[in-house]
Structure 1
């Protein structure tokens, strides 16, 4: 490849660059991008150099570029993984140009991944970083494209599986008319070790943070429910409910939790128990809607031997099992009226009576009830006892739906990601940018329970070591409408309606199919800049198939 270094068509990259005016986002595939003023980046470089010194500023900016390069290497494999190493590697330089970093011209490239051998030279014209440095400090003695060098090193290192160090042989900041970079394995440079610290992440704070995340994941996987660990959030709506829960925890008051299905009522109940003086006692949960009406009294209050056919032994009910602790009655609105009457007696007298029993048994139980229905409306319809509602509704806590606490979604999602990666022994890099935005804009009819299910599915479907992307979370979500870039770099709206209208016009024109094929061939070659291999990729055919069609339909010369 040394004799004729050429770029493949970048049309595959342009197709992935989307401008969504409605959402205020720019996307490159699944990654969110930004358009920034070079003047702002230049000011940032200047502030860093002034604040922490040139050496530390260089390390920070190199690390930033290195991280960008690592991400783009994964993107390159995703986009051109089925193509040869040369075309796949060229994604990085082509992205650098699309993103406005510099005009990149490949000079020399030799790469053998299996042997770990790499040697490459690239020319940079109009490097934004060299220009910014020179405008601030004038002509300097040392190369200054730190961020761009970090990118080249990170991108290539990810491809080669070993640290590849790029250095500037020429730099426009030093007075040259262009920049020239050269890369090879770090141990192939005589002074390579002196540059290693620019790329290796040896921050103690980062190490501590990584260890903390591992500890949290382990804790979550061991005791996710008993700790009430899903009570995560800082939104005003959540903090209001959480504050009410904490105030009630130190008392013996009966609590009624209300809210939509899936908001986490049982988690609030468990947290209430965990923060109370009864934390060392049992926590017993009952879903009243899941028990048949004829069995619910026996389940709650227990059974004496011989109370009914089949009752061969006496059995304690849930109230007795919760003695000294907390009993959580979920979906309390579904209790049948006879059971409601007995529940009212327990709340009034502190005694239960087993089915078939003749004497009461005292129980020391803190009752927490929950419902997602309007109990006052049930009272009006004769389905719920008014006196029982008064007893349960002493201390109501309304738990907000997830759509009203959008600021908590990201924290909840990351917590669940740690939990499910530990549970399924999976290593993932995190959420893709588009996936995270999709989570933030979802309506969440199923609330936290729906979020749990989506994150677990995402962890299972994501590739080992990769990102959880939007298609792993929402497989059937339609692609958003967007503006793309045409071959001349201009914004071009593309929509299904326009494509359908174009097809209709072609059919109505009566153009012969041979002429249509000639038009398509001409357009593909034009968009690929005359590169026939690139044109073939655009059309989804081989180069040989394209050559055959071009013999039948020669390219049209411009008049």
Structure 2
């Protein structure tokens, strides 16, 4: 089908049903989401005619830990791979029924099912599907793998790819769909430190060495795996602490997501060494907090921690701030004073936004890193310094060095141990923990009684993209604490997003009939006696269309209609604007603005 990495001139002629696109794109998922129904009354979840389950990711992590400990790594991997294979086979049968007549769109049911089931977001890179000729090649990126999250929560980072169940699913789904054995391999994995997971799939006979992976897909091989399992678990999986992951974390760091735990795992590995560390991440992700925790966990914890924001110091003063100045070195230098490196002697210096340093300062910094000596501005004496350097940046220093804005030799000197801190939108599981932490912090600081956040408010926080990351979340919570009702009522959406900065992501809720509805759409009210009676007597004549007809026939102005609707909702809610907003599917802030506007 589609090739995004192959030039058009080299694409062989294919049957008409195999399309060639510049970019592989997944079809709309509405036909799948419409078939997912929740039935709380009888405790069932259905996807089409298949019963589904929702499980806790933490439970999957615990199961993974126990199986690896009891059976060994190889046998546990075989079990998870076979489980995924069986699930993929079931979904392949479902795919042909839901999208008949279009092989490519029908094939994409599998990747989209992964997203719908909360397993992983699949991005096609290169896909070729031709059932008639048996041609298949698939290359995909996996983003936000739940299996990686479970594995990292149980064991930390891994030396090998860990998406065993998802690889089994991809192989089972494609084998049934194509009518021949297809094998997928995970060539990159986020659990090993990659930015994302990458898989490649093709028919078994096209692989040079399929047997190392096929053993996990063969039913008869499991017995041999059990018998061959070593009596002791590999070193990476021994001595697992019984306490939860958050109990093993340095003070000040809060999170349970796989992205957070991966960064924390790297921090633990490097803490007791003297290696330079480079924290990478967007503005507001908490790079200085990680740096402080790294210092507190190091052998230098009792010595000074000196932080400097390189972007906040004028270029003509940056050298004197870093390396010190001698009296009379320039106008205004009335006395000699040490720089930040001297003040951090024996401890740690944290250079935030290091990408903003000018080239002259970069050259002197490189000398300090190499020689462990500083020379004050206007001075001739060199002073020895014993300092651990931690740097942080939100810029791509490699790209900046190619452009000539950052010294390449300094980049390689700093890039000894890079640690990427993921943005908050990639670690949404941490939002409730961070919210609770900031609520306690600012309720105490501002002496305000706060009873927590409503479920609706928490849903909106988890939906929000947080371009400002943890720093923005902290500001939102502080503002909400200040705006919160003085009677101690819970914080709601209107307190959290009072400045119109709410952004909605496509999360889904449950409608009255069990179907998925958009998270911001107000659910249909339950049918009352009048509605039931109307249904029994015959088709209802009331509805949105008849209401629109009535409004247009009577030439009712839109402003008057909106004002009357809002006033009625507020009256029925007894003056409670939050309750009235829920009736109308608005935030409290939106309703309050329109309510005041209508009364002016």
TM-score computed with the length of structure 2 as normaliser: 0.46
More relative contact order, 1 or 2 (CA 8 Å, 6+ apart) = 1
TM-score computed with the length of structure 1 as normaliser: 0.49
Whichever of the two has the greater Rg, that structure is 1
